[in-house]
């Protein structure tokens, strides 16, 4: 379908298919997702994936397919797993219960609580590490979907993070292939003809957030397709989401706390 | 239209109408937006606003309607305006050009560069303050749209912010009426039957991000309608977006830098 409706502005659509099977180590994600995505029905009656779509996948199922589940039988083992993923502590504070809340930079360069180690929705006694290289995971999934469907969608792999100053968590892109991650409006003129000097929109993170609204955490829908962002989907895989991480030298909050 | 397509999962839709007029001090936003929103065409052929829709409005046009444009004839006056909106400096760093980059908490409680004072897309020699009370602005706009259309949409007022650790800016909700801002999943069980202990999703900020993907900064489309989030639209106006600001006592990054 076209993302435009005659007489109206472009429409963004997002939906998260039911029926994604439980993913375990060694699964071929592209093979398992292909029939699920083919069954999507859009409001105009069309079905499946189309060029310009962005497939947004929770890092959790990517990590499970890649065998990133490790033993964490108690709090001490869990803390060891987190320490192994931690590059440096960005901020920490004692909790009333005597434990310590730590925000850390992890091996992927992401700043997160618990270094991105996931202990919810995994079997008891285990913890799930993030994909080793989420950009590589995104590229491989894109290639696999392209081989099976003939469509070359953009692919984002997302994870959920807290934010300084704001309540609540949001989803971010931690892996990407074929998506223009930043829309650089610098050099374009505002309505008064002056240059917009510092507006670089984090499009990939906004797509991740839009996808989260339909995916949800409890619903068993870890994958969404976002339609209407075809202008941000590129033939080449392009920069990975690692390029969205602000270099420490530009970052006022790398050593905060 | 229904946000569900038979045989498929709920679909999120977002579009930003063309034709929003230039807004100036004293304008009645609800009156000006009513015909623009009525002209929206959806992929199923329906038109206009429907119950369950969220109307997302850039703070810029709300501020213009509320007469928040002030004189700022040179850099010194601009710095004075910013100082007047600043409650405290959260982080600062000298730029190579000798000026200082300051991230500050402003009078609305938001942590932003330049205290949220906007000098792009405003007449030369002026600066635009944020709405004095964006939640009140959202409630008034909601009442006005309800009186004119019979529909009681959710309303979000958004602004654009940078983030620690991440490149690029995203939109956030700084004003809200009739939107469940946080989806609290605590107490709900994961697929293994264990409680999800710390997942509170910032739904309003994710709706703001989704809306930004269709609004854009240069396109002259400062308003979007997001459809498919009816489960988050409430009859009562409910908590304002000020409640999304993390209390300083819970915040590890209020004094960072």
**Inter-CA distances, B87 with B56, B66, B82, B110, Å:** 27, 22, 10, 10
pLDDT by residue for chain B (257 residues), tens digit each? Answer: 334 444 456 899 999 999 999 999 999 999 999 999 999 999 988 999 999 999 999 999 999 999 999 999 998 999 999 999 999 998 888 878 887 888 999 999 999 989 999 988 889 999 999 999 999 999 999 999 999 999 999 999 999 999 999 999 999 999 999 999 999 876 666 666 665 556 899 999 999 999 999 997 666 899 999 999 999 999 999 999 999 999 877 777 775 43
Question: Is the Cβ–Cβ distance between B53 and B13 less than 8 Å?
Answer: no
pLDDT single digits (tens) A85-128: 999 998 888 878 887 888 999 999 999 989 999 988 889 999 99
What DSSP line would sit under A127-154, residue for residue? EEPPPSSHHHHHHHHHHHHHHHHS---E
Contacts of B142 (CB under 8 A, 6+ apart): B55, B152, B153, B154, B155, B177, B178, B237
B81/B50 same-domain check: no
A12 touches chain B (CB under 8 A): yes
Q: Which of B108, B129, B150 is the last residue of a domain?
A: B129
Last residue of a domain, one of B83, B99, B129: B129
| A158-191 CB burial, b ≥16 within 10 A, e <16 | bbbbbbbbbbbbbbbbbbbbbbbbbbebeeeebe
- CATH code of the domain covering residue B108: 3.90.1660.10
pTM summary value: 0.93
The answer as to whether B255 is a domain residue is: no
Cβ–Cβ of B210/A12 closer than 8 Å? Answer: yes
Of B101, B124, B166, the CB nearest to A192: B124
Shared domain for A98 and A170, answered yes or no, is no
Looking at the structure, tell me whether residues B99 and B47 fall in a common domain.
no
The confidence score (pLDDT) of residue B7 equals 41
Decide if A256 is inside a domain: no
- Phi first, then psi: give them for residue B214, nearest 5 degrees: -100, -25
- Residue at B251 is within a domain: no
Q: Could you tell me if A224 and A103 lie in one domain? A: no
Number of separate domains in chain A: 2
Q: What is the CATH number of the domain that holds B173?
A: 3.30.1330.100
Residue B220 at interface with chain A, using a CB cutoff of 8 Å: yes
Tokens of B96: 């190579």
One domain, residues A159 and A144: yes
Residues of A in contact with B94 (CB under 8 A): none
Shared domain check, B57 and B157 = yes
Test mutation, B163, B207, B220, B229, chain A, max A CBs within 10 A: B163
Q: Are residues A185 and A207 in the same domain?
A: yes
Q: Is residue A75 domain-shared with residue A184, that is, in the same domain?
A: no
Alpha-carbon gap, residue B256 to B89, rounded angstroms: 10
The reply to whether B256 falls in a domain is no
State whether B51 and B152 are in the same domain: yes
Closest residue in A to B4 (Cα) is: A43
Cβ of A168 and B244 within 8 Å?
Answer: yes
Q: Does the residue A30 lie in any domain?
A: yes
Pick the residue from chain B with its C-alpha nearest to A197.
Answer: B120
Listed by number, the residues of chain B in 27-66 with a beta carbon closer than 8 Å to a beta carbon of chain A are: 39-44
* A window 155-194, beta carbon within 8 A of B: 160, 163-172, 181-182, 185, 188-192, 194
Give helix B203-215 / helix A203-215 axis angle, nearest 10°: 130
Please tell me the predicted confidence (pLDDT) of residue A98.
81
φ/ψ of A53, rounded to 5, equals -70, 155
Supply the ipTM of this predicted assembly.
Answer: 0.93
- Asked, for residue B155, whether it belongs to a domain, the answer is yes
**Cα–Cα dist A23/A37, whole Å:** 16
A99 and A138 inside one domain: no
Residue B186 maps to a domain:
yes
Task: For residue B54, tell me if it sits in a domain.
Answer: yes
First to last CA, chain B: 48
On whether both B151 and B239 belong to a single domain, the answer is: yes
Residue where a domain terminates, one of A80, A98, A129:
A129
Phi and psi, residue B41, nearest 5°: -120, 130
CA distance A90 to chain B (A): 10
Question: What residue numbers bound the domain in which B151 lies?
Answer: 1-67+130-245
Same domain, A60 and A81: no
């Amino acid at each position: 379908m076209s993302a435009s409706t005659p007489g109206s502005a472009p429409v963004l659509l997002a939906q998260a298919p039911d029926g994604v099977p439980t993913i375990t180590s060694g699964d071929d994600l592209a093979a398992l997702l292909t029939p699920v995505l083919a069954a999507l029905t859009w409001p105009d009656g069309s079905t499946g994936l189309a060029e310009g779509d962005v497939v947004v996948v929770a890092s959790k199922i990517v990590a499970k397919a890649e065998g990133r589940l490790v033993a964490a039988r108690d709090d001490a083992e869990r803390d060891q797993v987190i320490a192994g993923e931690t590059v440096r502590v960005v901020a920490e504070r004692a909790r009333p219960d005597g434990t310590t809340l730590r925000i850390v930079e992890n091996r992927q360069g992401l700043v997160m609580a618990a270094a991105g180690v996931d202990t919810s929705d995994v079997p008891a006694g285990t913890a799930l590490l993030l994909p080793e290289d989420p950009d590589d995971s995104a590229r491989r999934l894109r290639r696999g979907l392209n081989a099976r469907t003939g469509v070359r969608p953009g692919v984002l792999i997302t994870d959920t993070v807290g934010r300084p100053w704001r309540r609540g968590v949001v989803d971010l892109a931690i892996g990407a292939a074929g998506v223009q991650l930043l829309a650089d409006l610098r050099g374009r003129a505002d309505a008064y003809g002056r240059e917009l000097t510092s507006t670089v929109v984090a499009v990939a993170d906004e797509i991740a957030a839009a996808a989260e609204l339909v995916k949800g955490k409890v619903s068993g829908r870890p994958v969404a397709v976002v339609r209407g962002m075809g202008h941000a989907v590129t033939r080449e895989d392009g920069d990975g989401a690692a390029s969205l991480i602000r270099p420490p030298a530009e970052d006022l909050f790398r050593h905060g706390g």
